[in-house]
Structure 1
Amino acid sequence: MPELPEVETTARALRPLIIGRSVVDVWNNWPPTIVTPSFSHFKSRICGQQFIDLTRRGKYLLFQLQYDTLIIHLKMSGHLAVVPRQASVHKHVHTIFELDNNCQLRFRDQRKFGRVYLVSDPEQVVGKLGPEPLAEAFTPEVLRTRLQNRKRALKPLLLDQTFVAGIGNIYADEALFYAGLHPQRTADSLTDTEIIRLHAAIQKVLQMGIEREGASIDLYVKPDGSKGDMQNAVAVFRRTDMPCYVCGTPIRRIRLGGRSTHFCATCQPLAVK
């Protein structure tokens, strides 16, 4: 699933191609993609509106229009691209936004889990998300406060989008590795020093992901179809039985909260010293 770095990469690539353009038509052949409003209302409401800005909130893309906000969540396999109208349409493209410059914004989604919203207030969709982990306001003290009195294991907690927005399986594993924290440690067991390490590690791996334009591990590619490079820089994710780059211990894989979890048992000990 595209996580914060992949979604940020998508936003940065699409922004110059979208801003100033207007929607003149919409096509969709998989109704569940459009969450709200109904497709007929969606189409009549968005057509004629101009794109003013494109931002990101967690894993959501927020296309600011003149009167509404178009919100898209890529989910497991979503991909967005702006292409000439005459370009051949991939079989997994299920939603097309016709633009006023003979181009189209196409939403390709092989697994069909992606979702699209058109709302007057973005908070209707993203209001329950946790803080942005790369924002200046997200300080170690904020993280400390959010960890207090929580007894959940760290890995599933980091995946909880109401706890902190944008982190998924890849970057949770990577952040815990760089913080030296076992994924089964409980949130309330962390010392102040460990919280500071976790805060720094979260920001480190997300920045790495953005700089490398995402991880092309499953279906993710950038809007132009090329691959990101973060998959070549992961320390533990999907490196099961391969040696840890730091100590040489084979990377372990367990199931935690229903998700595959990768870690180094030496660099990330479960026992608190």
Structure 2
Amino acid sequence: MPELPEITNFKSFLTETVLDKEIIEVEFPETKLLQASTTDFKKALLNNKFTGAQQLGKYLFLRTNKKKSLVFHFGMTGKFEVYQHNETPKHTHLLIRFRDSSHLAFVCVRKLGKIYLADGLEEFRKEQGLGKHALDLEEDEFQEIVQEKKGGVKSALTDQHFISGIGNVYADEILFQSEVHPKTRVEKLSEKEIKRLFDQMHEVLNTAIKKEGERSEFPSNYLSRSRKEGADCPKCSGKISMIKVSGRSTYFCPKCQKEKS
């Protein structure tokens, strides 16, 4: 599933390819993902232009010059295609044609994404009950969020109502780099461990953004390069283990990430 770093790269891609172009046609080959009527989408988009792109965790916003924003959640397989030819890509849910003959398609094979209209990022955040964008959090805000939570630390990191943008893969990486066991209860974290989690959250997410989400290009000491049960730990002589945490497959090194009693 695309997480914060991947969405950041989608944002950069759209900023370079679709801004300030007049929208002349909007089509919906499939409507399952739409969170408003096709009439509302056309009213908001036709004869309009995208003026900027914003991000809130796993959500991408395309602002228009008519105040409304087009908002995407990518589910497991959502992605964009920008092209000049007239053949619509398979599994397209939204197709936008521009005056310059280019096209923007939102493709989602497994149909788990969503497409919204919103008045703005902050309004949408409040309506959906989402936390702040992970990389916008200050250390004191992060500490307060973690200390307010109950239960396991991985669940705290991946709860989009508290922190927007961290999913399964990057939560595992942040915990691995922080040397915190994924089953550790939040109330057992020391202030030092919370600070380390905050620092590694920024380090891991920014590294993934710079590497454009290509895990094979991540630093050699990153778990994400060999996220597989039984693989060699990239930091010690141990082996990677897999357990279920809140129903999610979770990878860690038992030697590097000691479980607290």
* TM-score, length-scaled by structure 2: 0.92
1:238 equivalent in structure 2: 227
1:83 equivalent in structure 2: 83
1:72 equivalent in structure 2: 72
1:133 equivalent in structure 2: 134
Pairs within 5 Å for 1:208-223: 208-215=207-214
Give 4+ residue runs of structure 1 displaced > 6 Å after superposition.
Answer: none
Q: Deviations over 1:212-264 (max 9, x none)?
A: 10147xxxxxxxxxxx8459874156221111111121100011111100001
CA distance in 1, matches of 2:40, 2:198: 43
1:224 equivalent in structure 2: none
Q: Alpha carbons of 1:40 and 1:110: their partners in 2 closer, same or farther (altered >3 Å)?
A: same
Q: Deviations over 1:150-177 (max 9, x none)?
A: 2210112211111111001110000000
Shift of 1:143: 1.4
CA distance in 1, matches of 2:16, 2:32: 29
Pairs within 5 Å for 1:1-273: 1-36=1-36, 38-67=37-66, 68-86=68-86, 88-127=87-126, 128-135=129-136, 138-215=137-214, 229-230=217-218, 234-236=222-224, 238-271=227-260
CA distance in 2, matches of 1:213, 1:233: 18
Q: Which has the higher helix share?
A: 2
Shift of 1:22: 2.0
1:225 equivalent in structure 2: none
Q: Gaps spanning 5+ residues in structure 2: where?
A: none
Q: Alignment partner of 2:164: what SS?
A: coil
Moved more, 111-120 or 62-71: 111-120
CA distance in 2, matches of 1:160, 1:79: 23
1:221 equivalent in structure 2: none
AA at the equivalent of 1:258: G
CA distance in 2, matches of 1:268, 1:61: 34
CA distance in 1, matches of 2:232, 2:112: 35
Shift of 1:100: 1.6
AA at the equivalent of 1:260: S
AA at the equivalent of 2:259: L
Contact 1:95 1:106 (C-alpha < 8 Å) held by counterparts: yes
Q: Alignment partner of 2:163: what SS?
A: coil
Q: Gaps spanning 5+ residues in structure 1: where?
A: 217-227
Moved more, 13-22 or 61-70: 13-22
The RMSD of aligned alpha carbons is 1.9
Q: Alpha carbons of 1:233 and 1:166: their partners in 2 closer, same or farther (altered >3 Å)?
A: farther
Contact 1:215 1:231 (C-alpha < 8 Å) held by counterparts: no
AA at the equivalent of 1:172: A
Q: Alpha carbons of 1:230 and 1:245: their partners in 2 closer, same or farther (altered >3 Å)?
A: closer
Shift of 1:144: 1.3
What number of residue pairs does the alignment pair up?
Answer: 257
Q: Deviations over 1:119-169 (max 9, x none)?
A: 22434432222122222xx22221111112422101122111111110011
* TM-score, length-scaled by structure 1: 0.88
CA distance in 2, matches of 1:42, 1:76: 23
Q: Deviations over 1:78-100 (max 9, x none)?
A: 011211143x3322222201112
Contact 2:29 2:94 (C-alpha < 8 Å) held by counterparts: yes
Shift of 1:28: 0.9
